[in-house]
Amino acid sequence: MTFSAQQISALINGTIEGNPEAQINNFAKIEEGFDGALSFLANLKYEDFLYNCESSVVIVSKDLELQQEIKTTLIRVSNPYEAFATLLQKYEEFKPRKVGREAPIFIGENTTLGENEFIGAFSRIGKNVTIGKNVSIYPNTVIGDHVKIGDNTTIYANATIYDACVIGNSVTIHSSTVIGSDGFGFAPNSENQYSKIPQIGNVILEDHVEIGANCSIDRATMGSTVIKKGVKLDNFIQIAHNVEIGENTVIAAQSGVAGSTKVGKNCMIGGQVGIIGHLTIADEVKIAAQSGIGKSISKKGSIWQGSPAFEVSAYKRSLVGFKNLPKIQEKINNIEKAITKLSQQK
């Protein structure tokens, strides 16, 4: 499909500088642009690429002041990254969606499916399952008994959804993710062995949640593990039993949240963050990558870093001291030598 710069500008409420009839039929990074491609500039460290960019159209900030002449058409917007994301979403919508049922598949008794479904080969859907309309289930997916899945949801290949879990509308679950596996519940007995505690709860994914590949979200011991509306989880994330993740929170790859912790809404959690169990994290908290959270965070909008983590302002001050430790140690050693020398002279 081919679009003009004018058509693209209308979709993102932009202002054109250059040729409004410039033709676009592909996307490219600004450093790899080519004729017919659309690129964007959101991070100014890539600005130098703009002046030699071969893309036909580049989306830039309305406030960008050009330092050199350019040969490409610009579309100026308030937020280039957001505008480019909007266009990519529109591009996905234009792609034809698979519909129908491949073979072989298994569908249990008393299971109902809405219209326009796609079910890939070798998928298994249990009994008493309810699936909404426009749902895509890719090959080798396993869906347990008594599961509920809302409209417009996509479940990619090799994903597994255990019994009685609830999946909302417009949810995306990527390949090899497991929803509803047993929580890590064991109790030591008198013989110093561990007895398994049955996990009889479920997992609830609310609307517009996206779960990356190879994630594991454990079912609750009792009640529900809940991933609230709009949450986005990256790949390789572990969410333990009875955890609650608040609305529109995002968590980057290789992070883990231990049992019964409640994370607020609109939080941003970096990669490889570990959060211990039974904590409460306030709304709008930001946690830097590789941090270890060992206590509840009650201050809304605060930023935490380190392991164990503390507020970022204190962390930065401490880091300065830590980096200077060799110099401080050298000064102490010199003082000790001077004192020893003075004492020997008496």
Topology adopted by domain 3-94: 3.40.1390
Residue 159 confidence (pLDDT): 98
Residue 172: exposure state from Cβ atoms within 10 A (0-12, 13-18, ≥19):
middle
Q: Are strands 73-77 and 15-17 parallel, antiparallel or unpaired?
A: antiparallel
For the chain, the structural domain boundaries read 3-94, 100-315, 321-345
Condensed to tens digits (0 to 9), the pLDDT of residues 277-298 reads 999 999 999 999 999 999 999 9
**Which among 64, 89, 83, 75 is positioned nearest to 17, based on CA atoms?**
75
CB 329 within 8 A of CB 344: no
User: How does the average pLDDT of the chain come out, rounded?
Assistant: 93
CB 224 within 8 A of CB 205: no
Q: How far is it, in rounded angstroms, from Cα 25 to Cα 279?
A: 49
Residue 338 confidence (pLDDT): 81
Q: Tell me the two tokens of residue 257.
A: 């949240």
Mean pLDDT across 293-307: 94
Residue scoring higher pLDDT (52 or 90):
52
CB 203 within 8 A of CB 219: yes
Residue scoring higher pLDDT (235 or 317):
235
CATH of domain 100-315: 2.160.10.10
Condensed to tens digits (0 to 9), the pLDDT of residues 57-111 reads 999 999 999 999 999 999 999 999 999 888 888 888 777 889 999 999 999 999 9
Q: Where in the sequence numbering do the catalytic residues fall?
A: 241
